[in-house]
Structure 1
Amino acid sequence: MYVDLGNILETTPGVTPDILDRLDSRVATAHDRIQTGMENEEHGYAALNLPETVDTDEIKTAVDRFDDPESIITVGIGGSALGAATIDAALSTPDHADTYYLDNVDPEAINALLETIDLEDTVVNVVSRSGTTAETLANFLVVQEAMADADVEWSDRTVVTTGDEGNLRDLADAHDLPVLRVPDGVPGRFSALSTVGLAVAALQGYDLDAIVEGAASEADKLSGSLYDSPAYAYGAATYALAERGALTNALMPYSEDLEYFAEWFAQLWAESLGKDGVGQTPARALGATDQHSQLQLYRAGPRDKVVTLVRPRNRRDRQIPETDLDGLSYLGGSSLGELLAAEFEATEASLAAAGRPNIRIEIDRVDERGIGELLYGMEAACIMYGELANVSTFTQPAVEWGKRAARGLLGGGEFEEAAAVADKRELLIE
């Protein structure tokens, strides 16, 4: 992974080389804390050990019984689905299985899927650390029923990823289902490089070892200086910009294969860093599409944003045919890849010319190694940001509040948070 900070120098908001130099001493201190957390396998920090601790053979063995399914349904929510979806979206080709992610409880969408998919040739990948996540278990029960109605033996088509205890673990034991264990100390949004994120990749036949090797290559770059670590450079720079008013981080990949990566990044950044009145709001865009929509705001709106531009350095290309159409002849003889590269560089220059901070992130190509580098690098960047901002990176109290409220409303126990729903104020306009 390569990170270019040139376009945050002397922008507004922005930093100077002297500011980065002074920040570098804090990065060294934060790195020491991160290293201690990794060595002691502390909660959250243990995620950065995954390139060494994940057992790819275990994952491959767990899915061996499923031979080239036509479809894969992952039932999970948040980090239990986004990592797998990001890897699969980056690597998928037409000859791979169709993948679906039941990460919401919208009955219209779920009914539409279950009415059209061939459940007999589908593998269900259900993921919940606790085995009690309401949305996940509800969707899984619905899928089970749909399989039974279609005369499909659900237990022959299901793999479970969960903790050592809980409803899913009991169910897996009772029906002799293949089970992958969620690793200790790894929050869901940091679990893409674990059993949680790699089961779908294994079902699709992707090279798990190359994904892990890509992650390991970024782990090897972690050091006490932001100038030696792309991940730390990004985490430190975005922290410094947020401190100076860049409270929105618009992530804009110039690759449709990485569009889901922006979804994954949004959870990682928001849930990890939005604490105690601080944090940076992630926004999602796609280059070049959103040059024709969101870029207007980023270049000419409030000076409260940093734009992160992401692209692979190498990709397949396609020539643009010659044309005699007036004003378009300049396109003939060039390629779509050259056009997209020009769009990327024009956006970058446009923002810089307006004094708007932007950061370039590149990988060599969107492949197994590249996606491993990107996922690990951004996780380490997020942890560095959290250390510098002095937030509790690995907790999510606001999320847990909402879970308790919803469970109370459904009769799942007495929770004071549920009572707050009745206190809602109304100003209804009809």
Structure 2
Amino acid sequence: MQFTNLSKTSAFKKLAKLRPLEVKAELKAERIRSAAVSIGAGLSYNWAAMPIGDDHIAMLQELADEQQLAAKYEALLSGEVMNTGENRLVLHHLTRGRVLGDDTSIFADEEEKGAFYLDQLEKITKFSQAVREGLLVGSTGKPFSTVVQIGIGGSDLGPRALYIALKGWAKGASIMKKEARFISNVDPDDADEVFEGLDFEKTLFILVSKSGTTQETLTNYELVKQAMVNANIKGMDPSQHMVAVTSKSSPLASSKDFLQAFYIDDYIGGRYSSSSAVGAVVLSIAYGSEVFQRFLNGAHEADKAALEPQITQNAAMLDALIGVYLRNVLNLPCTAILPYSQGLSRFPAHLQQLDMESNGKQVNRNGEPIDYSTGPIIFGEPGTNGQHSFYQLLHQGTDTVPLQFIGFSNSQRGKDIVTAGSTSQTKLVANLIAQIVAFAKGKDDTNANKRFPGNRYSSVIHADQLNPETLGALLAHYENKVMFQGFLWNINSFDQEGVQLGKLLANKVLQGGDGDEALQGYMDLLE
């Protein structure tokens, strides 16, 4: 395989000469019908309101072929070292199945990794069933009713977003047995709010730290233990209310302070870890292992669809390529993620980490400076709240911000009301449709203040309902999109050195500033 900087490819040089399509003039019913690509598990991607025509598609296909996107994905799935910064394999796809077939074996750490992940999933299944059925109880003999995950970054954002995303569906299906809460911020107010109304006798805590040394997570762990002791509950033993998700080499792995340890490894980055034990324990306890398996099945289906070399049949690859055109030809620095589903209220926050931590790089995979832009700034909020907030800038501001809508035909809970001749869900979908068209077509007006320029680009990902399968496919779509964009930019999407400097300096502050005048100045300011 060849690893080439984007600006050095012949296809990109030709792509850069293509002017954007006039979406305002071209957005018609036939184009909308023909611009649909299946992601898998009933989820679809539609790019009709993007500035892409037939010439663009042909050139994007040439770029995908020249950058060997499909081959690099297969190499990753086969166990080649694709995380060059840390000299590691990248195996998060393997946590939801062998994408290249059941005969694909990947060996590392003196074990076959597919079997390792499956073994951990089976252990989590048995454990979660025991918790859900009341067979495993706390130190005072009471069954667990609440589970609290302690973690930060990828140990919090993804699992929390997925838990919230399925909560309405699980309640509508009457299968939610346990409540989940999350502690992530080292700010003690975060944990204190989680403790409100919490019955420690009925609470199981999940400590998530791959290394077992994460400062914020271990601080919150100690805070939780102290809160349990301070509750003065007769017979309370914090160790009987704690499990760990960590690596085999972690100091947590063999600690007697935990009921049980479930294992992850260095081949799955935190932001890609929701389909591993990091997400499996909390989601399996809250919703059941069968629901978590359905989520994995949806992700696996999208992973398999991403193998297709023809971009008009590969939603993740096409989404990635269009994103590169927007970022590197049209020079648009931001992307807004706009889910028209309350269940996805925290999903944009997860995507911020997934995209910005993965592709926020200024050197290529060999450590050499690059001469083009990489990952965009990601932000977003659910509709319709966003319409009454920052959409003003999106519609009439001086900058064009590409938009990605996410919508579902039906609600999760099945509860609704008819007012003014339509249900709430119908109104939600109507607003989603209206926004796509309003951004694309705009509106002329003699009053300049009421004029909408249009040609504001968007795509939409949609399905019948947000459920375990569609959520799994949605997560995998974005993970694969980020991966393909990393290949296109010739960067390493699987390390995150940018988070290390702040950690180092924070430790210096805790040690008194270590003679650094800038640190000391702010220490004096904020003491």
State if a TM-score over 0.5 links the two structures: yes
What is the CA–CA distance in structure 1 between the aligned matches of 2:302 and 2:344, rounded to whole Å?
18
Contact 1:253–1:285, Cα closer than 8 Å, also in 2 = yes
What is the CA–CA distance in structure 2 between the aligned matches of 1:227 and 1:311, rounded to whole Å?
21
What is the CA–CA distance in structure 2 between the aligned matches of 1:147 and 1:337, rounded to whole Å?
43
Contact 2:240–2:258, Cα closer than 8 Å, also in 1 = no
1:50-199 mapped onto 2 (5 Å cutoff): 50-52=95-97, 53=114, 54-55=117-118, 56-66=121-131, 67=134, 69-93=144-168, 95-150=176-231, 151=233, 152-171=236-255, 174-175=256-257, 177-199=259-281
What is the identity, as a one-letter code, of the residue corresponding to 1:147? M
SS at match of 2:345: helix
SS at match of 1:35: helix
Contact 2:349–2:379, Cα closer than 8 Å, also in 1 = no
Q: Pick from 422, 433, 436 the counterpart of residue 348 of structure 1.
A: 436
Contact 2:321–2:485, Cα closer than 8 Å, also in 1 = yes
What is the CA–CA distance in structure 2 between the aligned matches of 1:231 and 1:404, rounded to whole Å?
36
SS at match of 1:8: coil
What is the CA–CA distance in structure 1 between the aligned matches of 2:258 and 2:284, rounded to whole Å?
20
What is the CA–CA distance in structure 2 between the aligned matches of 1:419 and 1:100, rounded to whole Å?
40
User: Which residue of structure 1 aligns with residue 361 of structure 2?
Assistant: 275
What is the identity, as a one-letter code, of the residue corresponding to 2:440? A
Q: Pick from 243, 246, 253 the counterpart of residue 339 of structure 2.
A: 253
Residue 210 in 1 paired to residue 294 in 2? yes
Residue 377 in 1 paired to residue 416 in 2? no
User: Which residue of structure 2 aligns with residue 339 of structure 1?
Assistant: 427
> What's the CA shift for 1:371?
1.0
> What's the CA shift for 1:110?
2.0
User: Which residue of structure 2 aligns with residue 241 of structure 1?
Assistant: 326
> What's the CA shift for 1:130?
0.6
Contact 1:310–1:361, Cα closer than 8 Å, also in 2 = yes
What is the CA–CA distance in structure 2 between the aligned matches of 1:45 and 1:389, rounded to whole Å?
18
> What's the CA shift for 1:270?
1.1
Two-structure CA RMSD over aligned residues (Å): 2.4
TM-score scaled by structure 2?
Answer: 0.73
> What's the CA shift for 1:49?
2.4
Structure of larger gyration radius: 2
Contact 1:303–1:356, Cα closer than 8 Å, also in 2 = no
Q: Pick from 263, 287, 291 the counterpart of residue 387 of structure 2.
A: 291
Residues 40 and 128 (structure 1 numbering): CA distance in 2 closer, same or farther, change over 3 Å?
same
What is the CA–CA distance in structure 1 between the aligned matches of 2:53 and 2:47, rounded to whole Å?
11
SS at match of 1:305: coil
What is the CA–CA distance in structure 1 between the aligned matches of 2:398 and 2:458, rounded to whole Å?
14
**Residues 191-224 of structure 1 deviation map (CA, whole Å, 9 limit, x = unaligned):** 1111111111111133122111101111111122
**Residues 332-377 of structure 1 deviation map (CA, whole Å, 9 limit, x = unaligned):** 2x11111111100000001111101111011332111111111111
Contact 2:61–2:310, Cα closer than 8 Å, also in 1 = yes
What is the identity, as a one-letter code, of the residue corresponding to 2:60? L
What is the identity, as a one-letter code, of the residue corresponding to 1:19? H
Contact 1:214–1:370, Cα closer than 8 Å, also in 2 = yes
What is the CA–CA distance in structure 2 between the aligned matches of 1:50 and 1:109, rounded to whole Å?
31
SS at match of 2:275: coil
What is the CA–CA distance in structure 1 between the aligned matches of 2:182 and 2:242, rounded to whole Å?
14
What is the CA–CA distance in structure 1 between the aligned matches of 2:399 and 2:314, rounded to whole Å?
28
What is the CA–CA distance in structure 2 between the aligned matches of 1:62 and 1:405, rounded to whole Å?
40
What is the CA–CA distance in structure 2 between the aligned matches of 1:302 and 1:415, rounded to whole Å?
45
Residues 113 and 45 (structure 1 numbering): CA distance in 2 closer, same or farther, change over 3 Å?
closer
What is the CA–CA distance in structure 1 between the aligned matches of 2:318 and 2:148, rounded to whole Å?
37
Contact 1:73–1:122, Cα closer than 8 Å, also in 2 = yes
What is the identity, as a one-letter code, of the residue corresponding to 1:87? L
Contact 1:63–1:159, Cα closer than 8 Å, also in 2 = no
Comparing 248-257 with 61-70, greater Cα deviation is found at: 61-70
What is the identity, as a one-letter code, of the residue corresponding to 1:50? T
**Identity over the aligned pairs, expressed in percent?**
24
SS at match of 1:169: coil
Contact 1:245–1:303, Cα closer than 8 Å, also in 2 = no
Q: Pick from 401, 410, 414 the counterpart of residue 501 of structure 2.
A: 401
User: Which residue of structure 2 aligns with residue 328 of structure 1?
Assistant: none
Which ranges in structure 2 are unaligned for 5 or more consecutive residues? Answer: 1-42, 82-87, 98-113, 135-142, 363-372, 442-453
What is the identity, as a one-letter code, of the residue corresponding to 1:216? H
SS at match of 2:336: strand
What is the CA–CA distance in structure 2 between the aligned matches of 1:419 and 1:366, rounded to whole Å?
52
Contact 2:149–2:208, Cα closer than 8 Å, also in 1 = yes
Contact 2:244–2:262, Cα closer than 8 Å, also in 1 = yes
> What's the CA shift for 1:80?
0.6
SS at match of 2:379: strand
> What's the CA shift for 1:41?
5.1
